Each structure stands twice: as structure tokens, then as C-alpha cells.
Amino acid sequence: MTDLTAIAPLLEEQAIELPSWAFGNSGTRFKVFAQPGVPRDPYEKIADAAQVHRHTGLAPTVALHIPWDKVDSYADLRRHADEHGVALGTINSNTFQDDDYKLGSVTHSDDRIRQKAIDHHYECIDIMGETGSRDLKIWLADGTNYPGQDDMRGRQDRLADSLQKIYDRIGPDQRLVLEYKFFEPSFYHTDVPDWGTSYAQVAALGDRAMVCLDTGHHAPGTNIEFIVMQLLRLGKLGSFDFNSRFYADDDLIVGAADPFQLFRILVEVVRGGGYGTDSDVAFMLDQCHNIEDKIPGQIRSVLNVQEMTARALLIDRDALTAAQRSGDVLAANEILMDAFYTDVRPALAAYREAKGLPADPMAAYAASGYAASIVEGRVGGAQAGWGA
């Protein structure tokens, strides 16, 4: 069995934030698939998220999405999270589900609509003060479907102006994190389509503005680990949204489509100083469990990240550097592949047991009876899902 003794202190530093919306109903463009026992409010979402942390020890915080997770008292929600052994994390804004935003939100040419979107972010910042959240994460659906529909440069100027107003409102210990996506729901152009645009916008704002990299938001064949390296090099990688894709923004379980890609990304994270308590890079999942059960889907996801992190930490860095400097192409590749092919699962099971956690979190959750209890107990009311 692989010996993880040398990297155990580093494994202790891993924390992966869960998205509240992963526990609600979701689906495709064609249908949202309901499941029994799905949470009906943010309190039940947090209770479900706490099960992931209870069985894995990897997920101590839960991100909220506003207005999906609006409550009367965020102080009460914060206490509820604490009672369940987790904390509230990133606050995600939503400017893509209001009729006013059909042609854009913070980039809209109508000053009234643009101010409405800015005011929504002010509300999110106020919520951050109540939840103790550090990060305001912004993903924009803004863009156009047809050439000539709108002035692209004008939209960039309005984006910069809006972001500046939002950035000026955040507190000294808070951050603005701007996500990018190369297409969808806009198909001709997206206002923040790539890491370069996001970087250019946040670099103009200041030190507390960062880029969020969603692993499913790139064109096929994109070398995502290169982007990770570059953003770490520039000091602008703020957070990850981990998921997996085959074709587009599939939001599948991270590591499901291409485990080697997840490994390569984490290799660059470790190499660039983006991992551990000394790093400000936030690890978060952003997935929709359409056909699989929600809680096991999140458990599997954080375990996949842990497994690939362990493999990345096992790389013989001295040997790899020596092979690279000597120009030994095959030796360098072999060192990397040796780490990737190392089966760390038995060692991680023993590592978890030593910490008082289940060796097999998936099996432990299945045997806990929690799934049956929420199916039986959550009768009546409206299940949470897209838009709730």
C-alpha cells in the first residue's frame, strides 16, 4: 500500500466548498428531474451538505446563491450551519433569471436595468457581512446572439464601470471573484468569455479582485492547467468551480469525464502554491446532480479531488526537475505518469480511519439511514431547484 506519511500534513489542509444548489432538483434544458427527499429551503440544503463533511472531513463550508437561498435571518442560518458542523462560504449573485436581464445585466445599455443589477450585488455584499463570507462570486450570462445586436466595446466599458462600483462596496477583508464562460446562454459573444477577459477586468479593479476558473467553462481541447499556471503566476487565481464535462458545461461529477485532466490541474495548483492553508485559492464544487442522488454525488466529488490531490503531492519533484533540466523528455513524463497511476485509494481509506472518519464514506453514508429519513420527513412544501 502506498505510504502517505510524508504528505499527510498537506492532506490535512484540504477544504472543498460545496454549492447549496447541488442538493436541489436540476436537469437539462428539457426537463428538471425531481427526487424524493430534496431540500425545501436553505436550512435543509445545509443539513444535507453537512452529511458530506461528516463522512469525508473535506467540506467544511457551503456556498449560497442569492436569491435562491434568501432567508429572513442570515444570522439564524449561520447558527444553523454551525450547529451542523459547517460554515457559510461564498455568496453567488444571480443576474440571469429576471426578465429585465434578457439583453444583459451589468452590461445592459439601459441605465435602470444596469443599476438594478448593481444593486443586487450590493445586497449580496450586505449578506456577506451577515454570513461572514469572504468572497462575492459573479458569473454573468451577459452577451449577444447575433452580430450587430449590440456594441461589444460599449458592453465592456459598461462591465468595467459596473464592476468598479461593486468592487468599491466590498469590505477590506472581502474579495470579488469574476467567473468566465466561453458560451451559453449567449451564442455569438459572451461578455466574459475567457480567462483573459476576466483577468483584464479584475486587474483593473485592484488586489481584492480575482478570477474564478470553472473547469467546465472552456472550449474542447483547452489546456486548462496552463490557465491555472498563468493565473497563479500572475497572482489572480481566486477560486475553482470543480466539475467535469464531455462536450460543454455539463456540470458532471468532477473527475468523471477526464480524471487525468483533474490530476494535471492539481499538479499545477500544487506547483504554483495554490494549495493549502497558505494559499488564498478557494476550492469549490459547481455541479448539478440530475440523475444521481445528490449527497452521494457530492461525496464522490470531494473524494475524487482528494484522490487526485494525493497523487499530485506524491510527485518526486526533485527527480522531475532534474529530468526537465537535462532535457530527458521521456523520464520527465514517466515521473509524472508514475504519480498519476499510483493507486492511493487504500492508503486514503486508512488515512481517513486514523482520523476517525469512515474508510469508505460512500458506504457509510448509504448505511447511515439519512437518505431514508429525508425521504420520509420531507413531505409537503416546494422542493428547491433551479430558481429556488
Per residue in 311-327, pLDDT (tens digit) is 999 999 999 999 999 99
Which fold is adopted by the domain 13-313+344-377?
TIM Barrel (3.20.20)
Chain segment 220-269, per-residue pLDDT in tens: 999 999 999 999 999 999 999 999 999 999 999 999 999 999 999 999 99
Amino acid at 228: V
Q: Where are the domains of the chain?
A: 13-313+344-377
Split at pLDDT 50, 70, 90, the class of 168 is: very high
The residues, any chain, with a CB within 8 Å of residue 156's CB and separated by 6 or more, are: 107, 191
User: In this structure, what are the phi and psi dihedrals at residue 282, rounded to the nearest 5 degrees?
Assistant: -95, 130
The residues, any chain, with a CB within 8 Å of residue 174's CB and separated by 6 or more, are: 125, 128, 133, 134, 135, 136, 208
Residue 387 is predicted with a pLDDT of 59
H or E element that contains 53? helix 42-56
Residue 28 is predicted with a pLDDT of 82
Cell readout for 150 is 449590440
Cell readout for 127 is 449578506
Check whether 331 has a pLDDT greater than 70.
Answer: yes
Amino acid at 22: A
| Packing angle of the helix pair 294-313, 259-271 (nearest 10 deg) | 50
H or E element that contains 63? strand 61-65
Whole-prediction pTM: 0.97
Asked if residues 3 and 352 have their Cβ atoms less than 8 Å apart, the reply is: no
User: At 91, is the secondary structure helix, strand, or coil?
Assistant: strand
**Best CA proximity match to 19, nearest among 170, 272, 214:** 214
pLDDT (mean) for 128-138: 98
Check whether 388 has a pLDDT greater than 60.
Answer: no
pLDDT (mean) for 14-40: 93
Cell readout for 115 is 443599476
Pairing of strands 209-214, 175-179: parallel
Cell readout for 153 is 466595446
Split at pLDDT 50, 70, 90, the class of 184 is: very high
Alpha helix (H) residue ranges in 235-293:
259-271
- Give CA 203 to chain center in angstroms: 21
Amino acid at 214: D
Check whether 171 has a pLDDT greater than 60.
Answer: yes
Can you tell me the distance from the alpha carbon of 272 to that of 263, in angstroms, rounded to the nearest whole number? 14
